[in-house]
Structure 1
Amino acid sequence: MSDSPAPERPLEQDVFDEWPDAVRALFDGLSLASKTGFTASLLTVDANGHVRTSLLSAGELYAPDSRTLCIALWPQARAARVVAQNGRAALSFVYGEAFYQVQLQMTPLASVAGDDSGLVYLVGSIDTAEAQSVRYARLTSGITFELQGEGKAVLDRWERQIEHLKQAAVAAGR
């Protein structure tokens, strides 16, 4: 038997079923201009077993409570069709120097009166989730973007989308 200390685990893994406070603040629908550039990947698996990815911004994600995430998708997005078929998706992103992957059970949300965006609204409950980081390297970003040209129009659209997600979540009792 050795007296040497146990080796350090290079991988830090935190499992959760409620949004950590900092992540919930990221998805609170507020101060969207300061969250421009954040990108999350919504992963789905279609009927042929192909993994499909939809990239989402903070203007398409809203957490009405600690265990839920509402998502706005364009109706032509493959993820919208796949989620309608199987009700499952995974959201992955980098935030706060960690890689997050959240397994979601998804259901559709009803349309909101006065919303002519054509967007599909979904609500997901956290099934399982984890955040991973390592001591020897610091994650500084994942997929990021810059708004160009019509940036103000995009931010205005995001504000409307988040408002519609909020209304749909309330109507669904979330």
Structure 2
Amino acid sequence: MSDPGLDNHRADRLQFEAWPPDLLAWFDGSNLAGKTGFTASLVTRQTDGRLGTSLLGIGELYAPDARTLRLALWRGARSARSLASGTPAALTFVFDGAFFQVQLDAAQMASREAEAAGLACFEAAIAAGEAQRVPYARLESGIVFTLDESGREATLRRWAEQVEWLRQG
């Protein structure tokens, strides 16, 4: 016999292989200033076998369609080297009260403009995605940041350029 109290603690899971419409709209490259603070954690396996994390803002992510995510990473970042070598990745974030984990298979994209700015761009296919919610609590945020006012406009300009490079694919 199951304990009815345990049913209140079970997570609701949504599995997907394509972005739900609200996330596709979130990653559309528009209104970057209104989406600042959003942070995603990109987890990759490093050359020594350990896991590493890069934190990405909204200006480093762009979804050209429902099954794809493009990423702009600093060329020297461990995660960029891992993705360039074909290592799968997991992107995790909080959105609309749920915890998302998306498994990605990425390949490097050519972009002269991004490379000149010290970036490496990648196009990733969604291998599998999952969103989790629990009935007794709502996630309000994951890792959140605030842009420093002295560099806010420069960061937003850089993000707009990066998203444009990702759009060009």
TM-score, structure 2 as length reference: 0.92
TM-fit CA distance, 1:99: 0.3
SS in 1 for 2:167: helix
Q: How many pairs were matched up?
A: 166
> Identity of paired residues, percent?
48
Per the alignment, residue 135 of structure 1 pairs with: 135
TM-fit CA distance, 1:9: 6.0
Report the aligned-residue RMSD.
Answer: 1.9
1:76-133 per-position Cα deviation (integer Å, ceiling 9, x unaligned): 1100011112331110000000000000000010114586312100000000110001
C-alpha separation in 1, matches of 2:39 and 2:10: 26
Per the alignment, residue 122 of structure 2 pairs with: 122
C-alpha separation in 2, matches of 1:114 and 1:46: 23
C-alpha separation in 1, matches of 2:78 and 2:30: 27
TM-score, structure 1 as length reference: 0.89
1:107-160 per-position Cα deviation (integer Å, ceiling 9, x unaligned): 010114586312100000000110001011110000000001210010001000
Q: What letter corresponds to residue 125 of structure 1 in structure 2?
A: A
Q: Does 1:152 align with 2:160?
A: no
Please list every run of 5 or more consecutive structure 2 residues that lacks an aligned counterpart in the other structure.
none
Over 6 Å off, 4+ runs: none
TM-fit CA distance, 1:164: 0.6
Question: CA, structure 1 residues 52+113, in 2 after alignment: closer, same or farther (shift >3 Å)?
Answer: closer
Q: Does 1:96 align with 2:101?
A: no
C-alpha separation in 2, matches of 1:22 and 1:114: 28
Please list every run of 5 or more consecutive structure 1 residues that lacks an aligned counterpart in the other structure.
169-174
Q: What letter corresponds to residue 15 of structure 1 in structure 2?
A: Q
C-alpha separation in 2, matches of 1:50 and 1:139: 28
Q: What letter corresponds to residue 163 of structure 1 in structure 2?
A: E
**Conservation of the 8 A alpha-carbon contact between 1:105 and 1:124:** yes
Q: What letter corresponds to residue 38 of structure 2 in structure 1?
A: F
Q: What letter corresponds to residue 154 of structure 2 in structure 1?
A: A
Per the alignment, residue 19 of structure 1 pairs with: 19
Q: Does 1:48 align with 2:31?
A: no
Deviates more, 1:69-78 or 1:106-115: 106-115
TM-fit CA distance, 1:51: 0.7
Q: Does 1:39 align with 2:57?
A: no
Q: What letter corresponds to residue 156 of structure 1 in structure 2?
A: R
TM-fit CA distance, 1:50: 0.6
